Every structure is written in C-alpha cells, then in structure tokens.
Structure 1
Amino acid sequence: MMNNQMTPKELNEIGDQYFYGQGIDKNIEVAFTYYKRAADQNNPVGLANVGKYFLAKLNENQAFSYYEKSALMGYPLAFVKLSDMYLNGIGVKKNKKKAFKMMEEAANLNEIDAYHLLGQYYLLGIG
C-alpha cells in the first residue's frame, strides 16, 4: 500500500512505533506527522494521539483541545485523559466535578480502565 493511501489505523500504528521507539528509533516529530494525517481524516484515535504529542511537547492547551475533539467523537480514552487533565489542571483549570464527569463518560463507553479509576474517584471523594 502506498504511503498516501494508508488508513487512519495504519497511520496511528506507525505513529505509535515512532512515538514509543518500538522496533525503530524513537522520534516523536515523525510520529506527529503520522498522527496528524490520521487526525486530518477526523479519526478520533488520531486526534487523541495528536493530543498525546502536544502533551509530550508541553503544549498543554493544544493537547486539551485535541483530546476534547476526540472525546466529542466518542473515543473513550480521550475522556480518560480529559478527566486526568481536569483533575490535575493540565491545560485547563482544575475542576474535580468535570474530572468525575469525564471519567464517568469513559466508563459509560465501557472503557475498562475507567471503571477502576471511577472507583478510585469515589473512594477519594472526587466529584
């Protein structure tokens, strides 16, 4: 398959290989080019991955924006990340109620990790 005909799934997978250095030298700038191509196709995973890139580059506001776009498309892991960002004030003002709401939404979308984290929120009185 030619490079310009890659699916968003393929673009994200190659981006991850570069982002994490899996079988290839780690290079988050190259990873970004793949993630961005997936995001440009309105792929929610690609949007979240662009958010991950911006977090790594410490551009928290941009990261929040991309995670939010991904969440609006129903991507559960984006809700988990937004919850963390609200909880810790990363790229957005701290807001425990919104953190709880985001984690609850992820759980409603059957994200396994969200069930555990939501339980932690209850235990700690968050939200």
Structure 2
Amino acid sequence: MKKKAISQERLEWDLEPDEEGLVKTASIADSNERERHIKDLVARGSILSMLNLAHFYEYRRAKNGGPDLVSAEAWYQKAVESGSAVATFNAGYFYLRRKNYEKAREIFSVGMDRGYAPAIVRLADLYVHGLGVEKDYDRAKELYKRAAKNGNLWAKAALGAMTASLASSVWVRCKGYVMVALAGIQIRFQKWREPLSERLKK
C-alpha cells in the first residue's frame, strides 16, 4: 500500500500554542487590533503568526502607514529561521514578488531540504526559466519528481509536460501527455474535495 504523504502544514499547525487565536486573526477588521493580536501570538511562540505579521506589513493599507517591506522581510526571515518548512514557501514568494530571484532560490532550497513540496515546485520553476540560476531541465525534472513523490499535484503535471516537451520518441511524448491528463483529473478532484489542500499549492 502506498504511504500517504505527510502534510507539513498539519504538522506545523499541531505545534501552534493557540490554534483558535490563529484562526481568529483573519476575522479582526481593525488594523491596529489585528497587529496587536498577531504580536501577542508571536510572543507566545506562534511561528505561523510570524508569517501573518510579515504579510500584514507587506500589504498594510496606506491609511495605516502603508507597506513596510523591511519589517515584512525581517519577519519572513524569522519564520524561516524558526525551522518552519511552510515559511520557506511564503518567504520565497516574497522575494519572487521583489524579483530577487537569487534570494528566492536560496529560500526555496531551504524548503527543499525541509521536504516541503510547494517550495520544491517553485525551486524547479526557477531552473526551468533560468531565474537566479542557469537553466537546467535535468535539475528541474529531478525536483518535480521529488515534489510529486511528496504528493504535489502541480509537480505531477509539470513533470508530465516536461516529459512530453523533451521527449526523444513518440512513445515518451505520449506518456508525458497521459501524465498531464491524469494529473489534471487529480487536480480537479482535489479542488472539489479539498480546495485548500497542500497538494494544490505551487
């Protein structure tokens, strides 16, 4: 029987000191009150609240002082340094949005070492497009395989697409198309069954 992929997100949620408090964060409308609430959770040892605080500073509304990218980056880094695998995905994306591809590669590589499939998918994408690294399809394919093995469905689709596009024979090309089709079916089913699943993150 195939071993079920372990959800890194579930593992990290289970370590949170106050899950109810973490969920409550999204429902607090007042910006100042939300900031105080998140900081209180951080002080109590909530690693995922570090990510919430980073996101808060990155997207803070103009009427509340506007974005504070220095603080956002600092909190993304603290979350990564805390040992969180999930944080590597969020922090890596922060650098992608800044078009700092070398830093994104560095952070996604940490996520790869921690076995977080969504970060591995993004790292593979960098190798496909040559962003922050030299283009390397073999390395990208290896990374997509690793992420797919960890249950990521987009990695399965990307692996199939690469197999088809780099195929040296009609048979291998057809195999790639079948892989893409099967991954597409799995993606649609997963979106219906569990739209926020870690398996759909990329």
Question: So what's the TM-score if we normalise by structure 2?
Answer: 0.54
How far is 1:5 from its partner? 2.4
Q: 1:121 to 1:17 in 2, by over 3 A?
A: farther
Partner of 1:36: 77
How far is 1:87 from its partner? 0.6
Identity of aligned residues (%): 22
Q: Which runs of 5+ in 2 are unaligned?
A: 1-36, 168-202
Q: 1:95 to 1:42 in 2, by over 3 A?
A: same
Residues 104-115 of structure 1 mapped to structure 2, 5 A cutoff: 104-115=145-156
How far is 1:13 from its partner? 3.9
Of 13, 27, 32, 2:67 maps to 27
Please identify, of 99-108 and 49-58, the stretch whose mean Cα deviation from structure 2 is larger. Answer: 49-58
Deviations 1:32-84 (A, max 9, x none): 33322211201112123222222222221111111101110101011101110
Partner of 2:136: 95
How far is 1:112 from its partner? 1.8
Inter-partner Cα distance in structure 2 for 1:59 and 1:93: 15
Please identify, of 28-37 and 115-124, the stretch whose mean Cα deviation from structure 2 is larger. Answer: 28-37
SS of equivalent residue, structure 1 residue 58: coil
Q: How many pairs does the alignment contain?
A: 123
Inter-partner Cα distance in structure 2 for 1:109 and 1:115: 10
Q: CA RMSD in A?
A: 2.2
Of 42, 59, 63, 2:104 maps to 63
